């Protein structure tokens, strides 16, 4: 089983990410920064947050479903806000999604917020609400259950340093995994945690029995050339049984986002 974790950057590099996922077809894809604009036929809209302006695929959820037609998609919105078509406001949902190949039965799942609550009228002030999703999958080839839990961690305008809110979201991520997992499961935690490699978040994961693979593997970061800032770490993947890991890679090329894909093979 291959599990991929990726922040899709709102589909900014749409052609690249669609071609990459069509070719790679991981059995499980944990995707952050997913846009769902069901009320527009546009392909592109604009995200505006002060001087932070980005092109956004109007419906990257639909795009990824097209790239992975043999997968079931579970979308978990964090908020309903506004993107822009020139001067026209377009209501759009924003969150994360988990894609699971239809050959793998999802036998349990849970969804919840690791910070804040669902934003019904706008994305809100920073640090904004963040959601997480957990799935329990039966792997018939290995004759075992695998639980995979992902989140998109808080973006703090002050940086990626530890805060009480970030520690709390790490504990909630672990609790969500506890909620969906059963004794004997192989457990995986992943996501764009938005913290540095020395963060208390990773300490809390270690205290809960998880081994974090990016830092343990000596990888030099998870950002691509599209990210201009000096901090190179954001994304992490952890397992509770390192012996079950067949391979783990931080993908440097092709570049499909400002984040590198993380791929775990069990």
Residues 77-120 have pLDDT tens digits of: 999 999 999 999 999 999 999 999 999 999 999 999 999 999 99
User: Is 24 within the bounds of a domain?
Assistant: yes
75 has which bridge partners?
97
Distance, in Å, from the CA atom of 104 to the CA atom of 115, rounded to the nearest integer, reads 30
Assign residue 242 the CATH number of its domain.
3.60.10.10
Whether residue 8 lies inside any domain: the answer is no
Structural domain harbouring 66? 15-265
- pLDDT at residue 80, rounded to an integer: 97
Starting at the edge strand that comes first in sequence, how are the strands of the sheet with 2-7 ordered? Answer: 52-57, 44-49, 71-85, 88-101, 28-36, 2-7, 262-265, 247-250
- What is the predicted pLDDT for the residue at 58? 97
Residue 10 lies in a domain: no
| pLDDT at site 125 | 85
Rounded Cα distance, 238 and 191, in Å: 10
The answer to whether position 4 is within a domain reads no
User: pLDDT-based confidence at 124, cuts 50/70/90?
Assistant: confident
In a domain, 30, yes or no: yes
Of residues 124 and 240, which shows the higher confidence score?
240
Q: For residues 86 and 65, give the distance between their C-alpha atoms in angstroms, rounded to a whole number.
A: 27
> pLDDT above 90 covers what percent of the chain?
94
Over residues 130-167, the pLDDT tens digits come to 999 999 999 999 999 999 999 999 999 889 999 999 99
Say if 164 falls within a structural domain: yes
Helix residue ranges, H only, 142-182 = 164-180
Q: At what angle do helices 164-180 and 200-207 cross, to 10 degrees?
A: 30
pLDDT higher than threshold 90 for residue 49: no
Asked if residue 7 belongs to a domain, the reply is no
Indicate whether 5 belongs to any domain. no
Average pLDDT over residues 29-49: 96
| pLDDT over threshold 90, residue 250 | yes
Q: Residue 181 pLDDT more than 90? A: yes
Report the chain's mean pLDDT, rounded to a whole number.
97
Does the pLDDT of residue 52 top 90, yes or no?
Answer: no
- Count up the domains in the chain and report the number: 1
- Looking at residue 51, its pLDDT comes to 85
**Do 46 and 87 contact (CB within 8 A), yes or no?**
no
Question: Model confidence at 236, in pLDDT bands (50, 70, 90)?
Answer: very high
């Amino acid at each position: 089983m291959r599990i991929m974790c990726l922040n899709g950057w709102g589909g900014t590099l749409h052609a690249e990410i669609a071609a990459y996922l069509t070719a790679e077809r991981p059995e499980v894809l944990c995707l952050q920064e997913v846009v769902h604009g069901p009320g527009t036929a546009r392909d592109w809209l604009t995200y505006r947050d002060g001087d932070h302006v980005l092109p956004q695929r109007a419906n990257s959820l639909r795009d990824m479903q097209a790239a992975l037609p043999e997968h079931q998609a579970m979308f978990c919105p964090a908020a309903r806000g506004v993107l822009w078509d020139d001067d026209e406001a377009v209501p759009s949902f924003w969150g994360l999604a988990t894609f699971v190949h239809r050959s793998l039965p999802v036998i349990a799942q849970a969804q919840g917020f690791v910070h804040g609550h669902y934003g019904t009228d706008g994305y809100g002030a920073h640090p904004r609400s963040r959601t997480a999703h957990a799935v329990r999958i039966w792997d018939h080839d290995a004759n075992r259950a695998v639980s995979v839990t992902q989140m998109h961690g808080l973006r703090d305008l002050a940086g990626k340093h530890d805060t009480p809110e970030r520690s709390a979201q790490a504990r909630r991520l672990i609790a969500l995994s506890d909620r969906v997992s059963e004794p004997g499961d192989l457990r995986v935690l992943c996501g764009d945690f938005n913290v540095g490699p020395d963060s208390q978040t990773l300490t809390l994961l270690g205290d809960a029995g998880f081994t974090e693979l990016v830092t343990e593997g000596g990888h030099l970061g998870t950002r691509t050339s599209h990210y201009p800032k000096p901090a190179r770490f954001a994304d992490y993947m952890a397992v509770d049984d390192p012996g079950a890991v067949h391979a783990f890679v931080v993908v440097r090329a092709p570049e499909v986002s400002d984040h590198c894909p993380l791929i775990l093979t069990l």
